[in-house]
Amino acid sequence: MSFDKEFGKYVCDGDSIDCHVDGGFHCYARLHYDEDTRAPADHPQVQAWERDEWHYFAVAVTVWKHGVKLTGDYDHALWGIEGNCPGDDNSYFRAVANDLLPDALASAQDKIRELCAS
C-alpha cells in the first residue's frame, strides 16, 4: 500500500498522484500552494524564493471508495514543504504522501463503520 508515482521535477498547485489499495480504496495525494509559509532570511535559497522561483506546498491525502469521499480535503495533510527549490527533485512529496496514507486509510475505515452503524 503506497504511492508509487512521483510528482515530478516541477510541481504546481493541484498536481496529484493516486493509488489503489486493497479493499477497494482509491487514494489521492494532492499538492496545495501554501501561501502562509515564508522562506526564512537565512534560507540558502531565499533570493530565489523572493523571485518566485520556488514555493511552499502542502501534501494532502484523501481516500475514496465507490465514488464516495471518506476523508476531508485537509484531514491528512502536511504544510510548509519546499517545492521546486533549486537543487531539489521534489521526491519528498511522495514520501510525505506515503507517511500520511496509513492514517488516512484508518480514518476512511472509521467513517465506513460510522456510516454502517447509523
Q: Structure pTM?
A: 0.94
- Among 106, 81, 85, 107, which residue's Cα sits nearest to residue 94? 81
DSSP tag of 35? S
pLDDT of residue 69: 97
pLDDT of residue 118: 87
pLDDT of residue 63: 98
Q: Residue 36 pLDDT > 90, yes or no? A: yes
**Where does residue 75 rank: exposed (0-12), middle (13-18), buried (19+ CB within 10 A)?**
middle
Residues in the chain: 118
Nine-digit cell string for 108: 476512511
Q: Residue 90 pLDDT > 90, yes or no? A: yes
Q: Residue 113 pLDDT > 90, yes or no? A: yes
Q: Could you tell me the pLDDT band of residue 1, with boundaries at 50, 70 and 90? A: confident
